[in-house]
Structure 1
Amino acid sequence: MTIKALLFDFDGTLLNTNELIIQTFMHVLNKRFPGQYSPKDCLKFIGPSLTQTFSELAPGEEEELIAQYRTWNEAHHDELITEYPDVVSTLEQLKAMGLKLAIVSTKRNETIQRGLTLLGANHLFDTCIGTDDVQNVKPDPEPVLLALSRLGIAKEEAIMIGDNSHDIEAGHHAGVRAAGVAWAIKGEAYLQQFKPDYMLQHMSDLVTIVKEG
């Protein structure tokens, strides 16, 4: 069936926020658990929501730790993010081909918009689904299904694209095809465990996939 919509994770997929996320976690964890975590340990915190992560690390202290996380993250956001090659140019090409584009993220909408502004890509997306919009975040299918509903697109006509297991699982749980990105910080081999339908070596691979249906 023809692909009519592409749903993108944001962090680590469209914008390289890995260093920002790792340094933010290290800032918070070094205060709460001095010397117990390394930057490598923080890789497993990339993907889940902040509530999920801090609920497991320090039950009952989630709100305080999330507040610390957001304060430091917002203060250092613009200096620590970088762009992946050809993301915006490929998004523009896909948009020109008539595709509907959406973001499905475990970030708040405000933070997504900040990143999109830095990318210069706000105008390319038909809708953004953040944590503000759902009760259940990825890997639950709710955010993916909400995006499809807003776009007016059938499950068979969409692909969910991301750098984490949560993205691939959310896509599959929602009944849509899923694509992993080889530039994921956790690596291509990690993503292959979750059986994505596609593995993107480069952002522009999406143009070929869409053309082939």
Structure 2
Amino acid sequence: MKIKAVIFDLDGTIADTLPLCIAAFKKSIEPLLGKKLSDEEIIATFGPSEEGTIRKLIPLQQEQGVKDYLYHYESLHGNCPVVFPGIQELLKILQDKGLKLAMVTGKGIHSTRLSLKQFDIVPYFEVLETGSPDGPNKVDGIRKVLERLNVKANESLYVGDAPSDIRYCKEIGIPIAAAAWAGTTNADELIPLQPDHIFYTVKDFKEWIVRILNMEQNETSN
């Protein structure tokens, strides 16, 4: 089946933004909570969007926490100024080959837009689905994207770095390319879940998908 659409995750897939997220959480939440938080404590709350994470940690100060988080997320974004090497070129190649590109991320809409603007990649994505404060919603997000792009699951490819991404894609029936190129990604957690493909560098993924697309193009023209 020909690949017509590629759907990307953001954190750990497009750029190394997880350390930025953790730093922004610490700067915004710790003063309101009145104690230090470890990286592990923060990561353990991930699943919902940042708004949901903040609601879990400081339910009585959620509004202030979200406001502070977005302020620090933007002010610290200079620590993560660009996408992973090769991502910009990859997006351009896919777009030039006529693929539909979308993003489904667990991040909130405001931080997602801040990052896409910072990375100068807003125009590449036709559809954007972000996280919910009420809990993980990537399955619904991917289904919405497929519907909006008018493509079938087996005509698409999801690119994501988390074990949960693999489980969600298997539930939907969309092939997944597991992105294991971020320093924050543990490939040993991905392999047992049997993703359709796993790539350890953006370069390897780019070469693979270009080869697949060229083969499809040759088959169509013959």
Q: 1:171: Cα distance to partner?
A: 2.1
Aligned residue number for residue 196 of structure 2: 197
Q: 2:113 aligned with 1:105, yes or no?
A: no
Task: Kindly report which structure 2 residues correspond to 1:65-144, keeping only aligned pairs within 5 A, or say none.
Answer: 65-131=65-131, 138-144=136-142
| Contact preservation (8 Å) 2:162, 2:190 | yes
Q: Which residue is equivalent to 2:208?
A: 208
- Partners of 1:98 and 1:196 lie apart in 2 by 25
Task: Point out where structure 1 has 5 or more consecutive residues left out of the alignment.
Answer: none
Residue type matched to 1:34 in 2?
K
The DSSP-based 3-state class of the residue aligned with 1:173 is helix
Q: 1:209 to 1:80 in 2, by over 3 A?
A: closer
Aligned to 2:173: 175
Equivalent residues in 2 for 1:38-53 (5 A)? 38-45=38-45, 48-53=48-53
Q: Which residue of structure 2 lines up, in the alignment, with residue 54 of structure 1?
A: 54
Match of 1:30 in 2: 30
Q: Does 1:20 align with 2:33?
A: no
Does the residue aligned with 1:68 lie in a helix, a strand or coil? helix
- 1:40 is displaced (CA, Å) by 4.6
One-letter amino acid matched to 1:4: K
Larger CA Rg, structure 1 vs 2: 2
Sort the Cα spacing of 1:88 and 1:46 in 2 relative to 1 into closer, same or farther, 3 A.
Answer: farther
Q: CA deviation at 1:206?
A: 4.2
The answer to which of 161-170 and 203-212 deviates more is 203-212
What's the CA shift string for 1:80-120, capped at 9, x where partnerless? Answer: 44431100001111222221110111234443333223322
- What is the match of residue 11 of structure 1? 11
1:139 CA displacement: 4.8
Structure 1 residues 21, 110: CA separation in 2 closer, same or farther (over 3 Å shift)? Answer: closer
> Which structure 2 segments of 5+ residues have no match?
217-222
Q: Label 1:203 to 1:156 Cα distance change in 2 as closer, same or farther (>3 A).
A: same
Aligned to 2:85, the other structure's residue is in SS state coil
Q: What is the identity percentage for the equivalent residue pairs of Structure 1 and Structure 2?
A: 26
C-alpha spacing 1:136/1:39, structure 2 compared with 1 (3 Å): closer
Q: How many residues align?
A: 210
Q: Is the 8 A contact 2:160 2:179 kept in 1?
A: yes
- Indicate how the Cα distance of structure 1 residues 25 and 85 shifts in structure 2: closer, same or farther if over 3 A, else same: same
Cα-Cα RMSD: 2.7
Give the TM-score of the pair, scaled to structure 1.
0.82
Q: Is the 8 A contact 1:14 1:84 kept in 2?
A: yes
Shift of 1:176: 0.8
Give secondary structure in 2 for the equivalent of 1:15.
coil
Shift in Å at residue 39 of structure 1?
3.1
CA–CA distance in 2 between the matches of 1:122 and 1:82?
13
